[in-house]
Structure 1
Amino acid sequence: MNKCYTSSIKSIRNAFLLGFLVCSATAFSQTTNFNTLNEMHNEVPDDPYIEVNKAAMERSPSYEAAGPNYFTKQVNVDSNGNNIVGDAGNEPSIAVDPTNPDRMVIGWRQFDDVSSNFRQAGNAYSLNGGYNWVNPDVLTPGNFRSDPVLDFDSEGNLYYNSLTTGFVCQVFTISDGGQDWGAPVAAFGGDKQWMRIDRSGGVGDGNNYSYWNSSFSTCAPNNFTRSVDGSQNFESCVLVDGNPRWGTLAVDASGNLYTVGQNNAGLIVTKSTTAQNPANPVVFDFFNTVDLDGELDAGIPINPQGLLGQAWIDVDISGGIGHGNVYVCASVNRISNGDAADVMFAKSIDGGITFAPPIRINDDASESNYQWFGTMAVAPNGRIDVVWLDTRNAPNLLESVLYYSFSEDQGDSWSENKLISESFDPTIGYPNQNKMGDYFDMVSDNDYAHVAWANTLNGGQDVYYTRISPYGLLGVEDYSEANPFQLVLFPNPVSDTTTLLFDISSEEHITVTVFDLLGRKINVLLDETVFGKQSLSWEGVNAERAKLTSGLYFISIQSKTNRQTIKVLLE
């Protein structure tokens, strides 16, 4: 169906834009009826599994980028680090080992071929802080899996919660610090589940909590379960007070459990002080509404079959002035001004009983752009990080970029919105399902924000890791790892001639190659032994000096030990 060829990309984009123009602005300025939204999003295997010969699929250079305050690496790559043309991945979740921050794991919905909606449990790991990723085979190949959520416990054991057929969830575990997953354990569950492991160090340390949409549940109307034995067994389901959905969970420094989600009255926060004690049943103390001046939404033009984003909750465990604060953040359809999507934030200083008035984090002046997939995490030192996709510079309200902002004063003020990516068209590379998924994910430590997200920067829908330095500068070692050749290309886009600058620190053989979107070698700009600062020019031609058609290309620089690729748009 939607292969990542240029002609198909254009037809998909045109069809999408036509549909966008046909829809009235008024129809999308109001949040769709909650019950309608609640029933329209569920994960079922609507396409059969067909084994795909991945070895025979086209390859192209994987996408990566680096700046003074971030670097980005593609995660769903083959064994040689190349992008697989024609597959897709979305809904990534990231986990960072608290005992070894260089060890990271990302899971995602893997579509082996974009012509099929059949999805499996993709997973990749990095042992060097996200600079390189190893992408093993999917979990239980040939089995339908969706909605991946990952987390570590305080001892470095890793858990992967995966939705399978019949709205049944299963949890995979790595308990030996390696890379091999154990057999899945039944964990009840349902659609749009989220999971959190208690790392408080208290009586509940290691508890595994998850909750989901009660409309699509293995134990309806209930929607919550707990494991108190290292995720080897899960207790019978109970109902989260207020019956929220499309949200997340958090555990504070005292082991108290929080959830956030939306019910038919709006966004609510639920708290349990008993869930941590294995000897006690799970009882919820209360649920309270949270005013974000808006509600979660779905079926919007920017993500037609997906969510605007889910609701996020996290707590301050810093021991500082904000210790115990509860924070809620989400991309919402605004009530006061009708803005289709703003990233809104609210905080509670009394354990979720009351919340301060909401604050808008995106600092654009427009009320017509989309700030979608808002995602939040709180670092151990109390810094609050938020990322989102943003169309503020897109004349068609479609082209999106990743933005970042942080707060160091408990959410009272926020840093200037920082651009973290190039723009991309989120409608290309759809895996027979017209959406980028429903969520991104992020983990924060005292130095960095670690983001798992999806984009189409290399011409298809793929999964990426981005490390962000909130203070505007990665360490010298970090930047060198992410940008080993100090590669610069200007101008880009290219209308006539572009110049490639790079630096080779020691004498070695270097090849500089131009590839097209399908990974075909178009031109070799350099193939010799060099040393020091280098400059090459390219006039947008192939090896026979014939002018290339406009479109997306890649220039890859390769040594014996390193490779770096940059995207080039030829006008």
Structure 2
Amino acid sequence: MITKNLSTILLFSIPIAIGMAVTPVTAQNVMITNNHSPNEPSILMNPLNTDILVAGANLNNVYNSSDGGLTWSEQTMTSSYGVWGDPSFDVDTDGNFYYFHLSNPSSGNWIDRIVCQKSTDNGNNWSSGTFTGLNGTKAQDKQWSVVDRNNNNIYVTWTQFDDYGSSNPNDKSIILFSKSTDRGQTWSAPKKINSVDGNCVDEDDTTEGAVPAVGPNGEIYVAWAGPNGLVFNKSLDQGDTWLSEEIKIDPMPTGWDYGIPGISRANGLPITKCDLSGGPNHGTIYVNWSDQRNGANDTDVFMSKSTDGGNTWSAPTRVNDDPAGKQQFFTWMDIDQTNGNLFFVFYDRREYTDNKTDVYLAYSEDGGTTITNKRISESPFTPNSGVFFGDYTNITVHNNVVRPIWTRLSGSQLSVWTDVTPSPILFAGNGAAQVENVMQYPNPASDLSYVSFKLHEESQVSIDLFDVQGRKVYTVMNNETKGYGKYIIPMNIDEMNLAEGSYFCKLTVNGTSKTLKMIVVE
């Protein structure tokens, strides 16, 4: 019989100092494109197959990948309603993608509706589109959507301006909601869901940033920013009725519109997500934003959460973990719905005294109680206030596959990027000072793999295997309590049904992880 061959022995002693040098982890950045001056990107993966991704950038650029983001195809999106930026995506339970954007029809008004185009072939081809929100000359702006994966209802929220940019006090901005119960073919009449209107100036007192999320029982949750700070509303009946008054999350004391050196326009509008993983934080609602409450030279990324359906909210948690005094901005978040882990992406200047900018990833495995920051950009860039960056970064995560997206500037050339570093490598080295005597042998080997480690105290131990895309393929040990002593854990390669190739074995002891590459051969 041909047997698969993988053998690794890991020797751990916790807590102690490093014994052997470990190869430094480097990010694996991929440029999606530098054509057509792309900015304000969005990205989404298909949870049925995390190798399938779609992405977009202002104004009408669309990209897709079938190999986990290593390579990309690109096209110019067209629609009879016009395509005018603010790209965002959703995906239903059959893997159909939905691309939402603003309009600029040849026979209508600029951004007079929200357009939805659908792809049934992984983003290669798109329908001509349907729309919601058409209301005379009023502007429809900054839409985001969510699919209820229990019934494939699609929910969309956005801002309507009576007259975009107007300083007339009689002109208002409001938050609207619409839904489709037939997979994007038709849309309900838009419904106003806010009680406190904003102005139309497109600054702090405008109501903006409505990103919907679905709760564990089909609830619809959404937060936005405006004249009352950061507020929240919800519907328990698929959007038919909403709270008569918004619940306040945070006063957002300096507002959502602020200045960042080298950025022509910056905002800290909120992102709303809900944990549907079935894990310990199932049902928790998270809202992520940034503001300058600590000073104009100290923009920070924050998170607040609710464990009671949005009725009450925690005090803000600072997501970036650097000392005070530097700029972090343009944040986005996602939740890995296979485990409840939180992920944030943002621009970061902690290492510099000028406008040089990195991209950071932050993540939490305990509902935001502890948050780890990692730089994921391979090199910094310096933005120029004369070159528009848009208003967002974006990130999509599923089954330990993490794909952020961001804009960067080189000279006068804009480009959009992602990172394809497998998550076991991306997160390797956390708590490395508590790991010693790391050994692998033989590698490759045959039949069995052994994980060996030594504990100095009673500890919680997990052992997981991941493929090169970062997807968990097998759990050897799940948070088991082990006492003082040395352990040798056998792993039967045939029983684990591992195909020939490379894998990563991650040992976690009391939250400290170490990951080594392993090879399976036939």
Q: Do both share a fold (TM > 0.5)?
A: yes
Distance 2:243 2:148 in 1: 20
Distance 1:260 1:469, change over 3 A: farther
Shift of 1:240: 1.7
Match 1:175 to one of 117, 120, 123 = 120
Alpha-carbon contact 1:272-1:286 (below 8 Å) kept: no
Partners of 1:416 and 1:176 in 2: how far apart? 36
2:218 is aligned to: 255
Q: Is the 8 A contact 1:314 1:327 kept in 2?
A: yes
CA spacing shift, 1:294–1:371, aligned 2, 3 Å:
farther
1:136-191 Cα shifts (integer Å, max 9, x gaps): 23324995511111111121111111102332221111135461111121222644
Q: Which residue in 2 is equivalent to 1:239?
A: 192
Deviation at 1:196, TM superposition (A): 2.0
Out of 312, 323, 327, the position equivalent to 2:286 is: 327
Amino acid in the other structure paired with 1:211: W
The answer to whether structure 1 residue 275 and structure 2 residue 235 are counterparts is no
Distance in 2 (alpha carbons) for counterparts of 1:437 and 1:237 = 26
Deviation track 1:328-366 (CA, whole Å, cap 9, x = no partner) reads 1111121x5565410011111111111111111112213
CA RMSD of aligned residues (A): 2.9
1:308–1:220 Cα change, 3 Å: closer
Moved more, 451-460 or 369-378: 451-460
Contact kept, 8 Å, 1:146 with 1:163, in 2: the verdict is: yes
1:271-320 Cα offsets, whole Å, 9 max, x none, are 111126xxxx3434752111276454335143644233321111111112
Match of 1:186 among 111, 124, 131: 131
Tell me, yes or no, if the aligned pair for 1:214 and 1:245 is still in contact at 8 Å: no
1:282-321 map, 5 Å: 282-284=241-243, 287-291=246-250, 294-298=253-257, 300-302=259-261, 304-321=263-280
Find the residue that maps to 1:135 and give its secondary structure.
strand
Give the AA of the match of 1:160: Y
Q: How does 1:102-251 map to 2 (within 5 A)?
A: 102-109=51-58, 120-140=59-79, 143=82, 145-165=84-104, 166-167=110-111, 168-177=113-122, 179-188=124-133, 190-201=139-150, 204-215=151-162, 223-242=176-195, 243=197, 244-251=207-214
**Match among 70, 75, 78 for residue 32 of structure 2:** 75
Q: 1:330 to 1:295 in 2, by over 3 A?
A: farther
Higher relative contact order (CA 8 A, sep 6+): 2
User: Are 1:376 and 2:333 matched, yes or no?
Assistant: yes
Does 2:394 correspond to 1:441? yes
Q: Does 1:424 align with 2:381?
A: yes
Contact residue 95 and residue 104 of structure 1 kept, 8 A:
yes
**Aligned residue number for residue 404 of structure 2:** 451
Query: Residues 248-293 of structure 1, C-alpha deviation per residue, up to 9 Å, x if partnerless?
Result: 12112322111111120100111111126xxxx3434752111276
Bigger strand fraction = 2
Aligned twin of 2:499:
none
Instruction: Check the 8 A contact 1:198/1:251 in 2, yes or no.
Output: yes
Counterpart contact for 2:45–2:396, Cα < 8 Å: yes
| Distance in structure 2 (CA, Å) of the matches to 1:419 and 1:465 | 9
Q: Do residues 395 (structure 1) and 342 (structure 2) align?
A: no
Partner AA of 1:364 in structure 2: D
Tell me how far apart the structure 1 counterparts of residues 273 and 351 of structure 2 sit (CA, whole Å).
Answer: 30
Offset at residue 322 of structure 1 (A): 0.6
CA distance in 1, matches of 2:410, 2:422: 21
> Could you give the per-residue CA deviations for residues 387-440 of structure 1, whole angstroms, max 9, x where no partner exists?
1101122222x1110011111111111114445331101117x5xxx4310011
1:364 aligns to 2:322 (yes or no): yes
**Which protein is richer in helix relative to its size?**
1
Note the alpha carbon deviations across 1:11-67, whole angstroms, 9 max, x for none. Answer: xxxxxxxxxxxxxxxxxxxxxxxxxxxxxxxxxxxxxxxxxxxxxxxxxxxxxxxx8
Cα 1:200–1:267 shift into 2, 3 Å: same
| CA offsets 1:100-125 (integer angstroms, 9 cap, x no match) | 2111100110xxxxxxxxxx310010
**Aligned mates of 1:293, 1:472 — CA distance in 2:** 36
Give the TM-score, by structure 2 length.
Answer: 0.67
Counterpart Cα distance in 2 of 1:192 and 1:339: 29
CA 1:181 to 1:338, structure 2 compared with 1: closer, same or farther past 3 Å?
closer
Q: Given the two structures, how large is their TM-score scaled by the length of structure 1? A: 0.62
Measured at CA, do residues 400 and 192 of structure 1 come closer, stay the same or move farther in structure 2, by a change above 3 Å? farther
Q: In the alignment, residue 78 of structure 2 is paired with which amino acid?
A: L
Note closer, same or farther for the CA distance 1:322–1:299 as it changes in structure 2 (3 Å cut).
closer
Which structure 2 segments of 5+ residues have no match? 1-23, 105-109, 165-170, 198-206, 428-465, 471-522
Paired residues of 2:422 and 2:468 also in contact (CA < 8 A): no
Match of 1:463 among 416, 424, 439: 416
Residues 1:199 and 1:226: Cα distance change in structure 2 (over 3 Å):
closer
Query: Contact 2:263 / 2:389 at 8 angstroms: preserved in 1?
Result: no
Aligned AA (1:104): L
Q: Give the AA of the match of 1:375.
A: W
Query: Do 2:63 and 2:72's aligned partners in 1 also have CA atoms closer than 8 Å?
Result: yes
Cα gap change, 1:354/1:223 in structure 2, threshold over 3 Å: closer, same or farther?
same
Partner AA of 2:146 in structure 1: I
Decide which of 306, 315, 319 is 1:348's aligned counterpart: 306
Letter in 1 for 2:330: F
Q: Aligned residue for 1:90? A: 39
Contact 2:213 2:273 in 1 (8 A): yes
Question: Quick one: which amino acid aligns to residue 350 of structure 2?
Answer: R
Distance 1:252 1:308 in 2: 26
Aligned to 2:49: 100
Question: CA-to-partner distance for each residue in 1:61-84, whole Å, 9 max, x for gaps?
Answer: xxxxxx8464221112xxxxxx54
Listed as ranges, the gaps of 5+ residues in structure 1 are 1-66, 77-82, 110-119, 480-571
Whether the 8 Å CA contact 2:273–2:287 is kept in 1: the answer is yes
Residue 246 of structure 2: SS of its match in structure 1?
A: strand
Specify the code of the residue in structure 2 equivalent to 1:344: F
